[in-house]
Amino acid sequence: MTEPRRDRLDQPIEPGRVRLPRFDPEAFGRWSESIARYMGTAKFIVYMTIIIAAWFAWNTLAPKDLRFDPYTFTFLTLILSLQASYAAPLILLAQNRQADRDRLTMEEDRRRAAMQKADTEYLAREIASLRIAVGEVTTRDFLRSELARLADELDEAAHRRQKLERKEWEEERN
């Protein structure tokens, strides 16, 4: 297909699309997490406190011609509002990413737990079948008792044979 010509009057002109710059959402997410993580530290709070204290000190103690934000500190309020307006979405983005990671971790844990449960059930069945099989196998004690009984029977049979042979021998002598 050919691209529509711009100089034709019988076809409407497609409005030009505004092209926004492309960015890697994963890189932006990592960046937002690092900012949110930093904003949750004591270091950040100390630095913010120092900056605000310096701001107050400069704008109250400096000569009037060097003050850049008069008493009501309107510019400071604007800066802090701007910081809060950017911090809140960055923190929410970081929380959403953490929730996604937690969800994936939970799914992986569930999958592993299901596999372990299946393995455990399989092993339990195998152990049960081995117990049943061992119950049908002759044990050492049973084998000893049977061998002892057989030895006794052989001794009795040998004793009877000797008696019989003696009796026959005595009959031949007489």
For the chain, the structural domain boundaries read 25-108, 143-174
Q: Which residues contact 93 (CB under 8 A, 6 or more apart)?
A: 29, 32, 33, 36
For residue range 48-80, list pLDDT tens digits in order.
Answer: 999 999 999 999 999 999 999 988 899 999 999
Q: Specify the higher pLDDT residue, 10 or 4.
A: 10
Higher pLDDT, 2 or 118: 118
Residue 143 CA to residue 149 CA, distance in Å, equals 10
